[in-house]
Structures are given as structure tokens and as C-alpha cells.
Structure 1
Amino acid sequence: MRLDLHRQSEADDWASPFIGAMLGGMLSTADFEQVVDSFAASGCIKLSAPAAAEETLRYIEEAHRIDGRYGVDCPELNFRSLWLAGEHGRPGAIYIDAPAERMPAPRSPVQLNRPLHLHDSGRMALILHGAATFIMGEPGSRDSSTLARIPVSAGDLLFWPAWTAHSFDAQDGFGLLSGMAVYVSPEEDGFSLPISSKDRRQ
């Protein structure tokens, strides 16, 4: 697995309109998946887009002032979320606030504070504040026998395709914009799909 970083200005110039279209409901599922697939095919998983992160954080702070409530607490994944955009069958986005980890940084999937899981559509995550470690298997694979540990902090943008085993370790806590090609609310069973025992590391 190769992790390429685009130049900062290029990532911001591209990321801001993409995120704006997603939050504005102007992005199709096919367009979202095409972007995710192109990054996966190129081996580029992580980019740097600090200006896009600052813009997005301002947007979320305004949305939070208007709404004033987090939509869903997910104790099994140790985060809370705020709905930002999306309806079933179209791309959507939520803000995820993950507190500090409950135990030291893990050494194996069994020790993860947030279990490895899957989604049935492409995903992106823009880190807005704090720092974390993104843990993922081979893009597009449920297999968790080989995992990459990718340090991320504010301004980092990640893409991964459907059915990719992944999780986050939040360290001291972090917040992110979670975008999905097909919107699913965190309170629905289909938001986070478990990895079967045959997919897990033995």
C-alpha cells in the first residue's frame, strides 16, 4: 500500500469544492465513488488540505449553533455525531467527535478501542482537530490480516473504498468530517458493518 501526499495547494483547491458540493447536496453517489476509486487506484489514501479543514470547521460550528444538538451517541464506537447533510441513496456527511481513548494505543486489532469495521460505500474523512491513527487494511478488502497505521492530524484528508477494514485510534481525542457515498445514519445498524471471524487476523 502506497501513501502519497498531494501538494498542499493542489489538495485544498480540489477538496474545498468537493466538500462544498457534498454538504450542499449537489454530489451524486457515482461522482463520490469515482473520486474514491481514483484515489484508491492511484495508491493515494492521504492528502493535506488545511484550508478545506478550516472552512469545514467554520461550517460545522455554524450548523451546531443553529441546531445545538448532537444527533447520535455511539457508545460502542466511542463517539458522538452531528448530522450535516444527506438523505438515503445519496452522498452525505456527519461530524464525528471522538474523545480521548480509554486505554493506551493498541498493538493488535483485538485491542482496538473502536473495532475494525466495514462500510458498503466509499468513504472520506477530513480531520478537523486533534490527532489520531487511521488503521486500515488493503483498500477494498475485508481482510484485516495486514493493517497499515497512518498518523493523521488536522487538515489531513483520507479516502477509502467500500468493504475496506478500518478503524481509528483517537489518542487524546479528535474531530472529523465523515463523508459517505451513500448516506447512513450512525443510529442505523447498517452504518458500521462487522468483520466476520474469517476476515479477522488469526
Structure 2
Amino acid sequence: MNYDLAKWVMNARKQSNLTQEELAEAIGFSGKGSISAIEKGRNKPTFDVMVKIAEVCNYPLPYQNQIINNTANHIQVGGNNFGSVSCYDSDSMDTETPIDLENLPKMKFIKPFAARVPNNDLSYEGIFKNDILLIDPNITVRHGHFVLVLANQNRGLIAKLTIDIKNQKLLKYNENIPEIIPENVKIIGVITGLTRYYV
């Protein structure tokens, strides 16, 4: 699916009633020329720039909630929301015996591993029960990542991470529950990919 990024930037800016110069300043650019070049299609924004624009304008990223290919064995959410890689070597991971998120083993996670999704809490994001998630504990978490979180009683939860302008981390576990600032939870790793088996 192709997105008109120039139009997305213009719509985000106009919805927030910002001039090109104000938006440029808010995201750390100098002068309105950089935003003008993007809106005219001469330059394409990087994903990091798009995240900043989305935050400043409170406007959804064009990739959010979009599955690029849900019939493939490997599913990647557009904009790398499932991690900082667009392709993952699942052969190097133990996907034969995915861990149980309802009772995470008491171990230090130091290499990539797989886990089975226990419920449909994030189905609105394209993550369904029994999907196999590929998780890397060595990736630095960033805004928009899906992460595995260790919660109470060794329970693992999948959540979408939001990092606001004040660098506060917010987690959303379920469509019907608002984002929360986590307390006493530990982020174990970033979801880098998803495998779905069809019967």
C-alpha cells in the first residue's frame, strides 16, 4: 500500500493550525523550507521525522493499524512498528517451542526468542491469539514499538509503547483500556516480527 506522505504531512500540519515554519521549529528543523519541500513531494520524511510530526500535531501515523501483508508467513507492520528491522531471520530463533506468556520463565532474556499470543487484546492492531511473536531483548525501545512487558506474577503482556514529548513511557495493552504509565513493570524486548499459521 502506498501512502501520499506529502499529503499526510500537510494534513497533520493543517489540522494542528501550524504554519510550515512553526512545524519545522517544533520538530527541530530550521526554516519552513524543509517542510515545504516535503509537502511538495521534493523530499520524503524519514520515519523518525514522521513520528515527531505525529506527536507534535497529535495526528496518527499513516502506517498505524495497517498490515502490509496478512497472508504471508512473516507479517511486518508498516513503518517498522514491530521493531527496527523490516526482515528478520526467524531461523536463528527457537520458534518450535514459543514461551508461555501467562507464566514467563524466570530467566534473563539475552537472545531473540518466540512467544505465543494468549488472547485477542491487540487484535485491533493486527495481533491475534495464537500468533507467534518474534522478540528481541537487545533492541532499544522506541516510540511506536510493540513490546513484551513482564507484569505481576510473571505474566507477560504485549503492549504498544508510546513515548511522549516529555520522554514518558506509556503502554497500551487493550483497545478498551487507556494508555497507562507503567509502574513496577519491566520491558523485556521489542516485537520484531509475527508469524501466523493458517489451518
User: Could you say which TM-score interval applies, normalised by the shorter chain?
Assistant: under 0.3
**TM-score (ref. length: structure 2):** 0.27
**TM-score (ref. length: structure 1):** 0.26
- Judging by fraction of residues, say which structure has more strand: 1
**Rg (Cα) greater in structure:** 2
